[in-house]
Amino acid sequence: MQHFLVAVSAAVLLVGCSEQVSETATPPDVSTSQATADPATTAVDKARLTADAKAAVMELGMTLKTQLQTAIKSSGPAAAVDVCHKIAPAVAESLSQEHGVKLTRVSLKNRNPDMGVPSDWQRSVLQDFEARKAAGESLDKLVYNDVVDGEHRFMKAIPTQAVCLNCHGVDIKPAVQAKIDEYYPNDRAVGFQEGDIRGAFVAVRALDGEG
């Protein structure tokens, strides 16, 4: 565990070069201001919540990507499956605690059978992302942000890049596939192509004192 924490802190220090999470600030008015929005949450609060959620999600994305690239470079994609398997849930957990939000990664075609399965509202957002992509919207604009049922909900689409195809693509090497089968007998996270939506980061914060 100690070793893991050191690795994570090292990865956090290394961030900033190859990150794909968009750096464009989300304007505070991206919300759809639906009837479900909590009127007690002002626009200013919401802008801050959004900025916090975005920072947490970006740190998760950068940390995982650094770990992944390091693992692939040093030991190849089959061994990197072990790293993803062990590290991804633990990094999400430790950054959740650090940021005071619940961080996960979900997908309509998930690999992780626990953390990867979207809830009903997350599934709707993912389906909406697919529809927006089909209508021509660029993947880094696919963000959802709202206050519903006493919680702030933030989601950001994760694009499939070339490196991802090693483990989520169409033509997966047998050694890699064997590792995936070993850990994830019900894996659904294959068959992706570059530019597909692989899934989304999720950050949820319970809002205190709001019922």
Binding site for ligand HEC (CB under 6 A): 65, 68, 77, 80-81, 84-85, 88-89, 105, 107, 110-112, 115-116, 158, 160-161, 163-164, 166-168, 189, 198-199
For residue 147, list its beta bridge partners.
Answer: 152
66 Cβ contact partners less than 8 Å away, ≥ 6 residues apart? 11, 14, 15, 18
Shortest Cβ 41–ligand HEC spacing (Å): 28
105: its two tokens: 């990664």
Report how far residue 101's alpha carbon sits from residue 52's, in angstroms, rounded to the nearest whole number. Answer: 9
Q: Which residue minimizes CB distance to ligand HEC?
A: 116
Shortest Cβ 48–ligand HEC spacing (Å): 26
Smaller CB separation from ligand HEC, 44 or 170: 170
For residue 159, list its beta bridge partners.
Answer: 197
How big, in percent rounded to 5, are the helix, strand and coil portions of the chain? Answer: 50, 15, 35
Shortest Cβ 14–ligand HEC spacing (Å): 16
The helix/strand count (H/E) of the chain reads as: 5, 4
Shortest Cβ 30–ligand HEC spacing (Å): 22
Smaller CB separation from ligand HEC, 22 or 41: 22
